Amino acid sequence: MARAAMSTPAHALADAAPVSFWLDDEDRPAALPALVGDERTDLLVVGGGYSGLWTALIAKERDPGRDVVLVEGQEVGWAASGRNGGFCAASLTHGLGNGLDRWPDELTKLAELGARNLDAIEDTVARHGIDCAFERTGEINVATEPHQVAELREGAEQAARLGLDGVQFLDREALREHVVSPTFLAGLWDRTGVAMLNPARLAWGLKKACLDLGVRIYEHTPATALAADGVGMAARTPYGRVFARRIALGTNVFPSLVRRVRPYVVPVYDHALMTEPLSAEQQAAVGWQGRQGLSDSNHHFHYFRRTADHRILWGGYDAVYRFNAAVRAEYDHRPATYEKLARHFFQCFPQLEGLRFTHTWGGAIDTCSRFSAFFGTAHAGRVAYAAGYTGLGVGATRFGAEVMLDLLAGERTERTELEMVRKKPLPFPPEPLRWAGIGLTQWSMTRADTHGGRRNLWLRAMDKAGLGFDS
């Protein structure tokens, strides 16, 4: 009886700190001073997450003489960039299946651009000496229901037809050589298209690289409004203004300073747990010697990975939307979700019974109806934006930064010519239809997960309309 009590989610979570494991780091850099007064610059970047940091860095690399200012409302990397799972994927389309559904004629090119983008991230990490535990281990998508095995086989065949030779189907026995769980039936291993990293340290490393190249960064400096200023733009902040020839918006999940963009994005809250370090015996019990990232194949899916110090991050499943697209600090934590995640963890790895969790946290994901980023300009081409990464922003934000810089320069490039870049997703409907529709979609996805993957009439209608919803 005592042993059973030790395995309850409540006991496993009892001592967990309600903070992102990645941000709970003694090497977290001190915040830079806020902007007081006025600044003038060639390029203003709004947002100090990956999107803004990559934009500022690449802008300086393209033109070292360009003056660049970045403003961040709180601290660099504090939001999604410091709270995600640390999966850095080459995919720009939120997976092969989503890309085939939406841009079949461009998918080969999109896969090539995504691979080059991941290579460029790896090169940047090495060139700037960014200590973020970057490991190009790949990711295994696992089947936990019989119908998913066939789906993974089909995924391997699709990858082979597109010439993606780094993708391999693993049957149950082959999968057990990589990781051991009684719930795993098969796997699809993308051997080269995903890296694992420490996400907060990537953000802090990009911050330092930007500073080294001369970018001026102001933290605790939210941009509150944009206005035309002659041939340029002005951005208002609480204690000053920034006058810039061009502006790039990397605000993602937060309400865009271009109001017409707001209906395209909804914030969806995602949550994660981090375990204490596994003992050598516990590590042997789960295998997982290759340190690949893992995710399951359900609509409501889990993602999980090992860290450099032998912990397991376990996140996902619930995707929580708040009425009227609200983004608030109190929504970052949801005890009911933490308990659910802990219960699922021990169902997946019963051999780790008694393991404790040290951290619990959550944050908002910028979700759009096509599950991958969209792009555009405003104010006669003087402002560019990218948003809607839907959980794959660790890698794809670098690509989005290049697109924004191309658009601001008025250049026709292989990126700006893509249909993916030229066209936008469908916007979400206004409230209360948005809340009701997302709720019905969530219920339908849960039902599909427990009914052999069969999509009901509502999901089929959403697919046809191009208004899906990804958990």
Rounded-to-integer distance, Cα 198 and Cα 209, Å: 16
**Rounded alpha-carbon distances, angstroms, from residue 331 to 34, 73, 325, 361:** 26, 18, 12, 10
Q: Which two tokens stand for residue 349?
A: 């790895």
User: Distance between CA 58 and CA 47 in Å, rounded?
Assistant: 15
The percentage of the chain sitting over the pLDDT mark of 90, rounded to a whole number, equals 87
Kindly tell me if the per-residue pLDDT of 471 is higher than 80: no
When comparing pLDDT for 456 and 395, which is higher?
395
Residue 259 inside a domain? The answer is: yes
Q: According to the model, what pLDDT value does residue 5 have?
A: 42
DSSP symbols for 252-303: TTSPPSSGGGGGG-EEEEEEEEEEPPPPHHHHHHHB-TT--EEEE-SSS-EE
Region of residue 102 (left: phi > 0; alpha: psi -120 to 50; beta: else): alpha
Question: Could you tell me how far CA 53 lies from the centroid of its own chain?
Answer: 15
Residues 116 and 62 in one domain: yes
- For the segment 289-306, the average pLDDT, to the nearest whole number, is 94
Residues 382 and 402 in one domain: yes
- Looking at the domain assignment, is residue 385 inside a domain? yes
15 is written with which tokens?
A: 């001592």
445 and 424 belong to one structural domain: no
Give the pLDDT band of residue 224 (cuts 50, 70, 90): very high
Same domain, 422 and 449: no
Average pLDDT over residues 309-321: 95
Shared-domain flag, residues 395 and 416:
yes
Between residues 445 and 314, the one the model is more confident about: 314
Give the pLDDT confidence of 61-99 residue by residue, as tens digits. 999 999 999 999 999 999 999 999 999 999 999 999 899
Output helix, strand, coil percentages for the chain, rounded to the nearest 5. 35, 25, 40
Q: Pairing mode, if any, of strands 240-249 and 383-387?
A: parallel
Shared-domain flag, residues 390 and 455: no
Tens of pLDDT along 92-144?
Answer: 999 998 999 899 999 999 999 999 999 999 999 999 999 999 999 999 999 99
* The pLDDT of residue 1: 31
Q: Is residue 165 part of a domain?
A: no
Q: Are residues 68 and 118 in the same domain?
A: yes
The count of structural domains within the chain is 2
Half-sphere exposure of 262 (CA within 13 A, CB side): 13
Q: Which amino acid is at 300?
A: H
What is the C-alpha R_g of the chain?
Answer: 22
Q: Has residue 3 got a pLDDT over 90?
A: no
Burial 123-157 (b: 16+ CB within 10 A, else e): ebbeebebebbbbbbbbbbbbbbeebbebbeebbe
Give the whole-angstrom CA distance, residue 196 versus residue 307.
Answer: 9
Q: What's the average model confidence in pLDDT over 274-292? A: 95
> Measured at the alpha carbon of residue 325, what is the angle toward residues 319 and 327, in degrees to the nearest 5?
80
Single-letter amino acid code for the residue at 10: A
In this prediction, what percent of the chain has a pLDDT beyond 70?
Answer: 97
293-to-181, 279, 312, 398 alpha-carbon distances in Å: 14, 19, 10, 21
Task: Select from 435, 404, 361 the least CA-distant residue to 21.
Answer: 361
Give mean pLDDT, residues 5-26: 90
Looking up tokens 């404790």 gives 356
Q: Are residues 378 and 454 in the same domain?
A: no
Whether residue 49 sits in one domain with residue 70: yes
Q: Give the number of C-alpha atoms closer than 13 A to the C-alpha of residue 120, restricted to the C-beta side.
A: 19
- Domain boundaries, position 446: 437-465
What letter represents residue 330's amino acid?
E
Asked whether residue 239 is domain-assigned, the answer is yes
pLDDT tier at 469 (50, 70, 90 boundaries)? low
Average pLDDT over residues 13-31: 97
pTM value surpassing 0.75: yes
Band (pLDDT 50/70/90 cuts) for residue 2 is: very low
Mean pLDDT value across the chain: 94
Whether 45 maps to a domain, the answer reads: yes
The answer to whether the beta carbons of residues 453 and 148 sit under 8 Å apart is yes
Has residue 73 been placed in a domain?
A: yes
Same domain, 447 and 416: no
In which band, very low, low, confident or very high, does the pLDDT at 266 lie, cut at 50, 70 and 90?
Answer: very high
SS3 196: strand
In whole angstroms, give the CA distance from residue 72 to residue 207. 11
